[in-house]
Amino acid sequence: QVQLVESGGGLVQAGGSLILSCAASGNIRSINVLGWYRQAPGNERELVASVTVGGSTNYADSVKGRFTISRDNAKNTVSLEMHSLKPEDTAVYYCHADRVVTSSLRLMRDVWGQGTQVTVSS
């Protein structure tokens, strides 16, 4: 069984910072892409940032220059450093793993964490 567990969410004032962390557990051989999504009430779930196994990153335009994603392939962890937070960043943030290959060479196309709440007050 492969699972993702997020931590680090909370309440912060506008302009503040938070660091989200996600740990993948299980018999994992590799994970192609790790990313963070978010969903605010009434909105679609959107990709915030992602990073490939080779270290290539991409970001939503709304967070470029403020957020940084990074991963540790040996530990199967991914983090999201969020700075200069704005009220519009308020959402539930989800860790996501795309194309997980287990030690038995089974391919899991999508694995989601349970989500962690980030609230930015104005």
Q: What is the pLDDT averaged over residues 29-46?
A: 97
Q: Average pLDDT in the 17-30 region?
A: 97
Rounded CA gap, 26 and 109, in Å?
15
> Does pLDDT of 42 surpass 90?
yes
Average pLDDT of every residue of the chain: 97
Residue 63 predicted with pLDDT over 90? yes
pLDDT for the residue numbered 1: 82
For residues 11-25, average pLDDT? 98
- pLDDT surpasses 90 at 49: yes
pLDDT in tens, 93-104: 999 999 999 999
Residues 12, 120 contacting (CB under 8 angstroms): yes
Task: Give me the pLDDT at residue 7, please.
Answer: 96
C-beta of residue 96 within 8 angstroms of C-beta of residue 109? no
Asked if 3 and 110 count as a contact pair (C-beta separation under 8 A), the reply is no
pLDDT at residue 121 tops 90: yes
* Radius of gyration, alpha carbons of the chain: 14
**Mean pLDDT, rounded, for 107-115:** 96
* Helix, strand, coil tally for the chain in percent (to 5): 0, 60, 35
Bridge pairing between strands 91-102 and 67-72 = unpaired
